[in-house]
């Protein structure tokens, strides 16, 4: 049996949530999507609130993954403990609220989702994501396993993809908000893309108003990030998996404007 897994790049700001709500149902229908994972890391531009998470679920997400801005909104802490379909990076300390992976029951069987975060340039006190992935996989009882690697360095994301090649069904990168051109299937059968891209303002610098980003590089005093106005886009990828083998048999990157 073949199933289609949709992975949606970082939702950024109000326009990203609105665009997701408007277009996700039709994309799921067009591509015969069986399961959807959305990175909600930047729904509040920086972080995500429980209300914004509910909006993303209402749009059609089965699971929300997060990243380095998980703790920006303190009200999210209880929500993480109460809702098993929103994940924070698994390599955060064990004392942190929520969980970093879970197995979900679906009409096509069980699928595991793992959320990891890179360590290069993110200035976060996290465990090694490679070793954490090994530990999680040693205890999982699911043939289909997908991984969101939220990381700054393309090299760290690609290295994890090859490290897990043949052991998981798909690995995709998030965080850098620019869709990469390498969506495909690795030699041992794992679907991979270095970065899904972003769901949010199309005319922006990674979702942020261009003048604010320019000001930062000119040395202006820092201020809270503001999402850019104007039209939005949605960047994502579809991974077609074989439920018998757990392998990825096709991968396609998409951009909806």
Q: What is the CATH number of the domain that holds 164?
A: 3.60.21.10
- Across all residues in the chain, what is the average pLDDT? 96
Reported as a pLDDT band with limits 50, 70 and 90, residue 74 is confident
Stretch among 76-90, 92-106, 115-129 having the lowest mean pLDDT: 115-129
pLDDT at 223: 85
Backbone angles phi, psi at 195, to 5 degrees: -150, 130
Count of helix runs (H) and strand runs (E) in the chain: 6, 14
pLDDT at 124: 72
Task: Respond yes or no: is residue 69 known to be catalytic.
Answer: yes
Token pair recorded at residue 7: 């992975």
Higher pLDDT, 229 or 27: 27
Say how far apart CA 24 and CA 31 lie, in whole Å: 11
Backbone angles phi, psi at 136, to 5 degrees: -65, -45
Domain that includes residue 222, residue range: 2-256
Reported as a pLDDT band with limits 50, 70 and 90, residue 244 is very high
Place of tokens 């994890």: 160
Total domain count for the chain?
1
What does the DSSP 8-state code read for residue 22?
A: H
Say how far apart CA 45 and CA 202 lie, in whole Å: 14
Other beta carbons within 10 Å of 166: 12
Q: Per-residue pLDDT tens for 3-34?
A: 999 999 999 999 999 999 999 999 999 999 99
Q: Which of 69, 101, 150, 177 is catalytic?
A: 69
Higher pLDDT, 123 or 205: 205
């Amino acid at each position: 049996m073949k199933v289609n897994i949709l992975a949606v790049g970082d939702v950024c700001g109000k326009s990203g949530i609105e665009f997701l709500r408007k277009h996700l149902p039709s994309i799921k229908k067009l591509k015969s999507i069986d399961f959807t994972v959305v990175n909600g890391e930047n729904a509040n531009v920086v972080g995500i609130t429980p209300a914004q998470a509910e909006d993303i679920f209402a749009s059609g997400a089965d699971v929300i993954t997060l990243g380095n801005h998980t703790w920006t909104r303190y009200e999210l802490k209880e929500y993480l403990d109460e809702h098993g379909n929103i994940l924070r990076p698994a390599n955060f300390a064990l004392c942190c609220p929520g969980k970093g992976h879970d197995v979900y029951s679906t009409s096509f069987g069980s699928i595991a989702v793992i959320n990891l975060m890179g360590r290069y340039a993110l200035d976060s006190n996290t465990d090694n994501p490679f070793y954490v992935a090994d530990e999680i996989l040693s205890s999982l009882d699911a043939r289909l396993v997908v991984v969101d690697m939220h990381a700054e360095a393309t090299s760290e994301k690609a290295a994890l993809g090859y490290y897990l090649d043949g052991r998981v069904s798909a690995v995709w990168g998030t965080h850098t908000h620019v869709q990469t051109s390498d969506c495909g299937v690795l030699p041992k059968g794992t679907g991979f893309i270095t970065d899904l891209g972003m769901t949010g303002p199309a005319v922006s610098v990674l979702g942020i108003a261009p003048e604010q980003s320019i000001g930062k590089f000119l040395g202006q005093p820092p201020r809270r990030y503001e999402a850019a106005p104007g039209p939005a886009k949605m960047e994502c990828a579809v991974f077609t998996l074989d439920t018998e083998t757990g392998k990825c048999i096709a991968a396609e990157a998409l951009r909806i404007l």
